[in-house]
Amino acid sequence: MKKLLALFFFTAFVWSSEDSILINAANTLDRFMAIPEERIPPKLLSRAQAIAIIPNLIRAGFVAGARYGKGVLFFKQKDNWSDPIFIKMYGASLGWQIGLESIDVILVFVDRSAASKVLQNGITLAADTSIAVGPVGRAGMVGAATKFKAQIYSYSRSMGAYIGVALAGSTLEIDYDANQRFYGCDPQKIYSIINGECNKKSEFVRILKNKLREYSSWQE
């Protein structure tokens, strides 16, 4: 058990640099959109008010489990996306489980107020906001899912396969240290990043924002 937890924290540390997070987030988005039958519907992306991407979320456990990962959160700003806010996700889970695995997670916020709560005191999924496993592909948008009844739609992949894992109980909050390291501005003034008042010229940010714009504009 101790060796498992040590590996858990070591792996989380290895993937924690800001540039690595941006690179992995871009790759994660590509993987989610690569297979038509399993992709996040572009129609849903176009209606999103915010999107969180958490690549390599680590889940570890022996009977009781834990999850931890770092990622980025983007807000819709008119017809564009804001620069990324660095975030972290963590939580515990119960039930029989053993081992260690890495999963990629994307959260699509169709309710801006739910995403704004992350900037305040953080949110616990399903407790502070409603969350549902998101529809996939063109067929997934048919029926009740098109009404966007949940505030957040979650997507998760493991070993390249879509798994739709439940994320209820996970906490999402701002990673102030990461934002200060990357942007060099007051980490408490998080809206200055969203509004473009505090920014950093980064090719990784440019690529990731371009991918979000591209996938959101796809027609199906």
Alpha helices in the chain (DSSP H): 2-14, 18-34, 42-47, 112-120, 176-183, 191-194, 203-217
CA distance 44 to 179: 28
Neighbouring C-beta atoms of residue 170, cutoff 10 Å: 25
Contact 86/53 with Cβ under 8 angstroms? Answer: no
In a domain, 220, yes or no: no
The H helix count followed by the E strand count for the chain is: 7, 10
Rg of the chain taking only CA atoms, in angstroms: 17
199 in any annotated domain: yes
Nearest residue to 30 via CA among 218, 211, 219: 211
Q: Looking at the predicted structure, is the pLDDT value of residue 14 above 70?
A: no
- CA nearest neighbour of 156 among 107, 108, 105: 105
**165-199 pLDDT tens trace:** 668 888 999 999 999 999 999 878 899 999 999 99
Beta-ladder partners of 193: none
Residue 143 lies in a domain: yes
* Domain contains 218: no
What is the C-alpha to C-alpha distance for residues 33 and 137, in angstroms, rounded to an integer? 9
> In this structure, what DSSP letter does residue 35 have?
S
Check whether 144 has a pLDDT greater than 50.
Answer: no
Tens of pLDDT, residue by residue over 27-45, are: 999 999 998 888 999 999 9
pTM for the predicted model, two decimal places: 0.86
Question: Is the distance from CB of 153 to CB of 107 less than 8 angstroms?
Answer: yes
- Does the pLDDT of residue 3 top 50, yes or no? no
In a domain, 111, yes or no: yes
The number of folded domains in the chain is: 1
217 located within any domain: no
Task: Examine residue 189 and state whether it is found in any structural domain, yes or no.
Answer: yes
Place of tokens 């990731």: 208
Query: What pLDDT band is residue 93 in, cutting at 50, 70 and 90?
Result: low
- Which residues constitute the domain of residue 180? 2-212
What pLDDT sits at residue 164?
A: 67
